[in-house]
């Protein structure tokens, strides 16, 4: 399937997509916090830079949303 945009136009479009604090991430974080879980967000020191890190449970959460 060919792209209907030029390479430069596609690059411009993709550069405007947020990589952090998306609506999906915020919704998950609100529910976790409401449930009593404490976490760190966007931890750069871990491989893959997980969206949410639950240190107490040694667990990471990656949120892959469609844009």
pLDDT, one tens digit per residue, over 39-52 is 999 999 999 999 99
Q: Both tokens of residue 21?
A: 């604090």
Model confidence band, residue 18 (pLDDT cutoffs 50, 70, 90): confident
Give the span between the Cα atoms of 60 and 55, in whole angstroms.
8
Q: Are strands 59-61 and 52-54 parallel, antiparallel or unpaired?
A: antiparallel
Q: What is the pLDDT of residue 2?
A: 77
Q: ∠ CA 34-53-33 to the nearest 5 degrees? A: 5
Every domain of the chain and the residues it spans: 20-67
pLDDT confidence of residue 7: 92
Q: How far apart are CA 38 and CA 23, in angstroms?
A: 19
């Amino acid at each position: 399937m060919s792209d209907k945009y030029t390479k430069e136009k596609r690059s411009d479009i993709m550069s405007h997509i947020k990589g952090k604090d998306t609506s999906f991430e915020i919704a998950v974080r609100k529910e976790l916090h409401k449930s009593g879980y404490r976490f760190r967000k966007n931890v750069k020191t871990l491989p893959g830079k997980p969206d949410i890190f639950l240190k107490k449970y040694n667990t990471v959460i990656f949120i892959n949303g469609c844009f």
